[in-house]
Chain A
Amino acid sequence: MKSNWMAALASAALLALSPTMATAQTAQPIELKGDVKVSKLVVENGKERQVLSEPKVVVPGDRLIFSTSYRNNGSETVRNFIVTNPIPNGVMLAPEGAEAHSVSVDGGKTWGKLASLSVSNGDGATRPAVAGDVTHVRWVLPEVAPGAEGKVTYNAIVR
C-alpha cells in the first residue's frame, strides 16, 4: 500500500546533504515527512494551553515546532536509523528543552548534549555552547521494525 508520501519523497528537496543517495529509491522502505507548526500559548478559563496552527503569519519571536515523521513500510527491520535536522536560517533552537537533544554546533561534524559542547568566541578562547549556537539536531534510533512509525520534533524561535 503506497501512500502519497512516496510522491512527496520523489519530488524532494533542494539540499543534498549527503551524496550517497540510494540507487533504488522506489524500493527503499522508509517514508520521511517534514512539517512545521506555529506554537502559541492561549489562556482559556485561566489556564494556559498550547495551540498549534499552520504557519500563515510568522514574525520574529514566534515559536515554531519542526517535526519529522517516519514510517517503515518494508518487511525488514531497519537498523541504526538517524534523523538529522539542520536548524534553518532565521531560527534558533529554543533554549527550553534544548538540553535533552543530541545537537551539533559545528555543522554536523561532532555531536553531543548541549551541556558538553563549546564554541570558540573569536579570539582563541572558548565558551560553553548555548541553544543559539546549535546548527543541527538529530535523533538516533537503533531500529525501526516493519510497520513502525514515529515523529521527532524540536522547538525553535524565529530570530
Chain B
Amino acid sequence: MKYSNPALFRAHSALGICLAVAAMASPAHAAGVAAGTMIENTATATYGSGPATTTIQSNTVTVKVDELLDVAVAGLTNTTVTAGATNVVLAYSITNTGNGSEAFELTADPAVAGNDYTVTVQQLVVDTNDNGIYEPGVDLVLPAGSATPAIAADSSLRIFVIVDLPAGVTDGQSSQVRLTAAAATGTGAPGTTFSGQGEGGGDAVVGASGASASDLDTLLATLASVTLAKAASIADPFGGTQPVPGAVVTYTLTATVSGSGQAQDLRITDAIPSGTAYEAGTLKLDGTSLTDASDSDAGTASTSGIAVELGTVAGGTTKVVTFNVKIN
C-alpha cells in the first residue's frame, strides 16, 4: 500500500491591508501675517486746548512682511502588511507652517537605519480629493524630482507613497520609509534669506524648521506559513496492527498555521491510496463528522479522495482531518 501525498492548497495569504490612518496630525500653528502684507504706521500729535488745539501727523513708515519658509511633516501610517505585498500605500501629511503659498520638493527614502528589509518606492501621489483613500486615476502622480502643487500658508496636503515589499521578508520584520519635504524656494539655516523670492514680492526667509522636515511611516510584515503532517494507524481484523486485507487505516492530517498573519482559503485534500477503499462517513474535522456529499459543510469524500475547506485560518491554529480506508 502506498501512502499518497496529501495536498495543501492555499490562496495568496493576503492579510487585508488596512490603511491604519492615525487621527490626522493637527497642522502646526502657522506663522502669522501673510507674506506681502504692508505694515504702516503714522503718528498723530495734538497740542494746545479748546479752540486753539492743533493736530499734526508724522510721516508714514512702511514695512513689508517677507515670506517665512517653514514646513512640518507627519507620518500617518503604522500598519501590518503581508510579506510579499505590492502597491502598499503609505500616507503622510505635509503642512505649510510658513506665511506664504509655497510648493515643496518631496523625497521618499526607504533605506532607514534599523530596517529589517527595504521596500521599493514605486510612486509619490498627491491625495487630490483629500479623502484619505489612494485612488489611481483620480489622485495626482508626482513625477520623480517634481514638487507638490503650491500649498497655501497654514494648509496641508496628504501624500501617498506607494511601495512594494521585497522577496524573502519573514514574519515580524519591520521597515520604515522617510518622507522629506523641502520648500521649493530654498532651505538652509534659519534666517537664510532668498532676495526677492518671497510671496508678495519681498524676500523669503528660512524659518525655524530650516524649511525642511520629514517623518516616518512603519510597516510590520506578517507571514503565515502552513505545514502539513500525515500519520496513519492500523487496526487489523484480528485486534492487531498488521496491514493485511480487511485492516482499517485511519489517516490523520494535521495542518499547522504559524506566524502572525492568516492563511486564507486553506484547503486539505488527500487521495485514497490504491489498494484501499474509503470507508464512507468517516471524514472528520477536529473530531466532528463531515458528510461525504458535497453540501454546505466543509468536507467532501468519494472513492477517489477527500477534500476539506478550512477557509481563513489564523496563525497559531492547528486543524486536524481524519478519515478511514480499508485495505482491499
B43, B64, B193: the one within 8 Å of A85 (CB) = B43
Interfacial chain A residues near B53, Cβ < 8 Å: 20
- B41 x A60 contact (CB < 8 A): no
| 0/1 interface trace, chain B 38-81, chain A, CB 8 Å (1 if under) | 11111111111100011111111101111110000000000000
Q: Is A145 an interface residue (CB 8 A)?
A: no
From residue 1 to 28 of chain A, which have CB atoms closer than 8 A to chain B? Answer: 8-9, 11-18, 20-22, 25, 28
Binary B-proximity of A58-95 (CB < 8 A = 1, otherwise 0): 11110010101010000000111111111011110000
Q: Would A20 and B68 count as touching, CB distance under 8 A?
A: no
Asked if B33 CB lies within 8 Å of chain A CBs, one says: yes
Evaluate contact between A12 and B59: CB separation under 8 angstroms. yes
Q: Hey, which chain A residues are within 8 Å of B203, CB to CB?
A: 56-57
How distant is the Cα of A142 from the Cα of B123 in the complex, in angstroms? 72
Given A59-B99, A79-B48, A85-B41: A12 and B57 interface contact (C-beta under 8 Å): yes
Interface residues of B in 1-59 (CB under 8 A from A): 31-33, 37-49, 53-59
Q: Of all chain A residues, which has the CB nearest B206? A: A59
Knowing A14-B42, A34-B42, A79-B49 are in contact, say whether A66-B61 is a contact too (CB < 8 A): yes
Contact: A59 with B67, CB < 8 Å? yes
Across the interface, which residues of B come within 8 angstroms of A34, CB to CB? Answer: 41-43, 58-61
Q: Are B58 and A12 in contact (CB under 8 A)?
A: yes
A90 with B43: CB separation less than 8 A: no
Cβ-defined contact, B58 with A33, below 8 A: yes
Closest CB in chain A relative to B253 CB, distance in Å:
71
Q: Mark A33-58, 1 if CB is under 8 A from B, else 0.
A: 11110000000000000000001111
- Interface check A158, CB cutoff 8 A: yes
Q: A22-B55, A60-B33, A60-B99 are known contacts. Are A81 and B47 too (CB-CB below 8 A)?
A: yes
The answer, among B44, B60, B68, for a CB contact under 8 Å with A14, is B60
In this complex, the member of A8, A21, A30, A59 whose beta carbon has the largest number of chain B beta carbons within 10 angstroms is A59
Contact of B216 with A by CB under 8 A: no
B43 touching A68, Cβ below 8 Å: yes
B210 within 8 Å of A (CB atoms): no
Question: Is B202 an interface residue, CB under 8 A from the partner?
Answer: yes
Contact indicator B49/A80 (Cβ below 8 Å): yes
- Among B38, B47, B55, B205, contact of A59 (Cβ-Cβ < 8 Å): B205
**A129 proximal to B (CB < 8 A):** no
Bound complex: CA A60 to CA B54 (Å): 37
Q: Are A64 and B63 in contact (CB under 8 A)?
A: yes
B207 interface contact, C-beta 8 A: yes
> Which residue of A32, A36, A58 is within 8 Å of B41 (Cβ)?
A36
A64 to B40 CA separation, bound complex (whole angstroms): 12
Query: Is the C-beta of A131 less than 8 angstroms from some C-beta in chain B?
Result: no
Q: What separation, in Å, do the CA atoms of A131 and B92 have in the docked complex?
A: 38
Q: How many Å from the CB of A46 to the closest CB on chain B?
A: 21
Cα distance A153–B324 in the bound complex, in angstroms:
102
**Known contacts A34-B41, A78-B47, A58 near B54 by CB under 8 Å:** no
Choose among A82, A89, A144 the residue that contacts B40 (Cβ–Cβ < 8 A): A89
CB distance from B213 to the nearest CB of A (A): 18
Interface check A113, CB cutoff 8 A: no
Write out, one digit per residue, whether chain B residues 63-105 have a CB within 8 A of any chain A CB (1) or not (0): 1111110000000000000000000000000000001000000
Give bound CA distance, A61 to B56, whole Å: 31
Q: For A21, A30, A34, A79, which residue has the most chain B Cβ atoms within 10 angstroms?
A: A34
Please report the C-alpha to C-alpha distance between residue A16 and residue B41 in the assembled complex, in whole angstroms: 12
A contact set with B: CB distance below 8 Å: 8-9, 11-18, 20-22, 25, 28, 30, 32-36, 55-61, 64, 66, 68, 70, 78-86, 88-91, 144, 158-159
**5 cross-chain CB contacts under 8 A:** A13-B42, A34-B43, A64-B39, A82-B46, A91-B39
Task: List residues of B whose CB falls within 8 A of some A CB.
Answer: 31-33, 37-49, 53-61, 63-68, 99, 193, 202-203, 205, 207
Q: Report the 4 A-B pairs with minimum CB-CB distance, sorted nearest first.
A: A60-B32, A34-B58, A159-B32, A68-B43
